[in-house]
Amino acid sequence: MKRQLIQIVLGGMLFAAALIVPAALQLGLFVLAYLVCGGDVLYRSVRNVARGEWLDENFLMSLATLGAFAIREYPEAVAVMLFYQTGEFFLHWAVHRSRRSVRSLMELQPHTVWIKQGDKWAEVKPQSVQKGDVFWVKPGERVPIDGVVRKGRSLIDASALTGESLPYCASAGQELLAGVIALDGELELQALRPYASSAIAKILELVENASAKKTPTERFITRFARYYTPAVVAAALLTAFVPPLLLPDASLKVWLYRALIFLVISCPCALVLSVPLGFFGGIGAAARRGILIKGSGSLEGLAKGSIIVFDKTGTLTRGQFEVSGVYPAGGFSKEQLLELAAYAESASTHPLAQAIVKAYGQEIDRTRLADMREKAGLGVFARVDGREVFAGKKSGLGAVSEEQTPQLEQTAVFVAVDGVYAGALALADAVKPDAAQAVAALKKLGFAQSIMLTGDRPQPARLAARQCGVDKVYASLLPADKVGAVEQLLKEKKPGSTLLFAGDGINDAPVLARADVGIAMGALGSDAAIEAADVVLTDDKLSKIPQAVVLSRFTVQIVKQNILFSLLVKAAVMGLGILGLANLWEAVFADVGVAVLAVLNSLRPLACKK
């Protein structure tokens, strides 16, 4: 860009000098100014012709400006090349600015890492770190490899990786992803995986390869430019030579000038540059929000979404059971019932047992416990303060009548003390805090259906669906059943629209791959998610799905604006040029000026606050 700026300044000075010097010196200064401004354009044109790739903007600009010299329109020839180079300078600046948001992610990539080798520490490249190696992170440094904390304590800034603004505290036993920053403490960690499989390496690979997959719009523009350019060259030749042959008063110089205008305006650079750049800007803006989109095709698919399908466990819900209700009986209080159940379940590793102990929230006094045993398929038995306590399924209660036990939609653990029914605890897989908000936001965006597919039982599935505002529920599904349900929904959706599926990225990989757009939730550690999904969210926030849809629609709208604006202006100036109502200056504005405006328009997703 610096060299190009020098060309513009020096060429402009020579051009200005040529306009004021005596006529005898003008031609030499015009030629010199032209070579300074357009020498590289001429070189690229000759080089591309030698390669057989001559129908590009370099060839068109060279042909048009040399033609202007041939008909002695020296000032316009130089001005066209000067304006073209100025426009190219602003185009490069705009491209640089759009890539800067993605380049900021590259700063997350570590250059070195301190690893422990025997009793010493050695500084090595991250690519040489293996699973199990011990490494060290100082305050203010980025964690270079996915690892688990062995020693130390520090506040962690994960904003650049996940978009989460608030720091959190990390201590021994906690896993940290590569790219997060240790703010105020030293940490000793053990590598969980090699660098190539780390979270930051996956992010960088996704973003770097995002532009490789073209959308139908981009493929159309590429084909359009391939046939459009030779067509306009042929049209320019016809414009230059047919009217002088057919019309008695037609001047060859006049029609040749009009043909040159036609050539300048015909350059398709506004379309060829701005369309992929618009998508790239949207992908970069999403990446800054912790939404990794695997290409412009996936971004365009998000924009066309009309049906959203969710997995339940780990997607709409936390994937962890919590006590949601305590229903005592037989004279027991809620506190007594929860305490007895927690003591009875304290030795069990079952998720429901752990949830009850967590809800109790107090230390278990082992001296109060005796004769603990578990009966497979029924529940657990234990003596608590000398009383026999049972906690488990209703069928383990014995002869308790149906009237005594409550009918609960959630998963329930029933408790009996000394053979007498004492109450029940309801447990539910807690819905994520932003689940209902995300579903409501998607409905406001025009999604016709929201659907849950789950392998869970119908009752808890329906309860979670009501809490989230989901329209339909399909429960007790095997993985193959989920794929079948999605295939049926794909047949029913409106033509031109897409079906989005959000899952936790591991067991949902087949459905993620089958949907029009698969969205993996918080799945940076999952190779299956990265491979199968089209969109990867760096955390578990469902609210990022409507954000992604809004940003994708905004980006696609900008791309359509660029296409329409470019074609309308070019068509208008082409018509004016053929009628003799436009000159080369106006043609250059319609070409380079429109390209600059379109590219600047493509930067808007980077500033999108939605």
Contact assessment for residue 552 and residue 303, using Cβ atoms and an 8 Å cutoff: yes
Nearest to 545 by CA among 317, 276, 316: 316
- The CA distance from 89 to 33, in Å, is 17
* Predicted pLDDT of residue 339: 95
pLDDT at 401 over 80: no
Asked whether the predicted pLDDT for residue 309 surpasses 60, the reply is yes
First-to-last alpha carbon distance for the chain, in angstroms, is: 32
What pLDDT does residue 530 have?
Answer: 67
Do 311 and 322 lie in a common domain? no
DSSP output for 171-233: -TT-EE-TT-EE-SS-EEEEESS-GGGSHHHHHHHHHHTGGGS--HHHHHHHHHHHHHHHHHH
Share of the chain above pLDDT 70, in %: 84
In this prediction, residues 60-86 reach a mean pLDDT of: 80
Residues 539, 409, single domain; the answer is no
Q: Which residues of 235-256 are buried (b: 16+ CB within 10 A; e: fewer)?
A: bbeebbeebbeeeeeeeeeebb
**What pLDDT, on a 0 to 100 scale, did the predictor assign at position 31?**
93
Number of domains the chain is built from:
3
Greatest mean pLDDT among 117-121, 333-337, 596-600 lies in 333-337
Which residue in 175, 470, 448 sits closest to 312, CA to CA? 470
- 370, 358: one domain: yes
Phi, psi of 327 (to 5 degrees): -125, 90
Residue 361's SS3 state is coil
Tell me which residue range forms the domain holding 469. Answer: 290-317+432-551
Residue 357: other Cβ atoms inside 10 A: 21
Residue 323 lies in a domain: yes
348, pLDDT greater than 80: yes
> Is there a domain that residue 45 lies in?
no
List, for residues 254-272, the tens digit of each pLDDT value. Answer: 888 888 888 777 766 666 6
Q: What is the mean pLDDT of residues 45-52?
A: 83
Which tokens go with 555?
């980006």
What is the b/e burial string over 392-422, where b = at least 16 CB atoms within 10 angstroms of the residue's CB? bebebbeebeeeebeebbbbbbbbbbeeebb
d(CA 244, CA 322) in angstroms, rounded, equals 87
* Lowest-pLDDT choice from 161-165, 251-255, 580-584: 161-165
Residues 304, 345: one domain?
A: no
Last residue of a domain, one of 162, 181, 207: 207
Q: What is the pLDDT of residue 100?
A: 54
Above 60 in pLDDT, residue 214? no
| Whole-number pLDDT of residue 226 | 66
Q: Are residues 313 and 324 in the same domain?
A: no
Looking at residue 217, its pLDDT comes to: 62
Query: Is 80 exceeded by the pLDDT of residue 334?
Result: yes
Q: Do 418 and 449 fall within a single domain?
A: no
| Local confidence band at 288 (pLDDT 50, 70, 90 cut-offs) | confident
Residues 390 and 469 reside in one and the same domain: no
Per DSSP, the three-state class of 151 is strand
Tokens coding 582: 């436009």
Decide which of 137, 172, 207 is a domain's last residue: 207
**Are 310 and 449 in the same domain?**
yes
pLDDT at 247 over 90: no
Token representation of residue 28: 């030499």
596 within domain boundaries? no
Q: pLDDT class for 45, splitting at 50, 70, 90?
A: confident
Instruction: Give a yes or no: residue 89 inside a domain.
Output: no
Answer yes or no: is 258 within a domain. no
**Domain edge (last residue) among 145, 172, 207:** 207
Write the DSSP symbol of residue 589: I
10 Å CB burial of residue 1 (0-12, 13-18, 19+) is exposed
**What distances in angstroms separate CA 558 from CA 278, 306, 366, 568, 603, one per listed residue?**
7, 20, 66, 15, 9
Query: Mean pLDDT over all residues of the chain?
Result: 82
Q: What is the pLDDT of residues 528-542, one digit of tens each?
A: 666 778 898 888 789
* CATH, residue 155: 2.70.150.10
Count Cβ atoms below 10 Å from residue 391 Cβ, excluding itself.
Answer: 29
Residues 410 and 497 reside in one and the same domain: no
Residue 224 pLDDT exceeds 70? no
Mean pLDDT of 460-479: 89
Structural domain contains residue 14: no
pLDDT in tens, 140-153: 888 888 899 999 98
Structure-token pair, residue 610 = 């939605």
Q: Is the pLDDT of residue 94 over 70?
A: no
Burial class (CB in 10 A: 0-12, 13-18, 19+), 119: exposed
Q: Give the global pTM.
A: 0.70
Q: In this structure, are 420 and 446 located in the same domain?
A: no
pLDDT, tens digit (0-9, with 9 covering 90-100), for 151-183: 998 888 876 665 455 678 888 888 888 878 888
Same domain, 458 and 545: yes
Q: Give the CATH number of the domain where residue 302 resides.
A: 3.40.50.1000
* H or E segment to which residue 440 belongs: helix 435-444
Q: Which helix (H) or strand (E) holds 330?
A: none
Q: Looking at per-residue confidence, does 219 or 292 come out higher?
A: 292
pLDDT at 106 over 60: no
User: For the ranges 15-24, 208-217, 219-228, 374-383, which has the lowest average pLDDT?
Assistant: 208-217
Task: Tell me, yes or no, whether 527 lies in a domain.
Answer: yes
Which amino acids are annotated catalytic?
Answer: 311
* Tokens describing residue 330: 């037989």
Comparing 230 with 207, the larger pLDDT belongs to 230
pLDDT tens column, 315-328: 898 877 889 899 99
**Alpha helix locations (H) across 267-378?**
269-288, 296-303, 334-345, 351-360
248 versus 502: which is more confidently predicted? Answer: 502
CATH of residue 377's domain is 3.40.1110.10
Average pLDDT of the residues in 458-463: 86
Say whether both 311 and 441 belong to one domain: yes
Q: Is residue 278 part of a domain?
A: no
More reliable by pLDDT, 484 or 212: 484
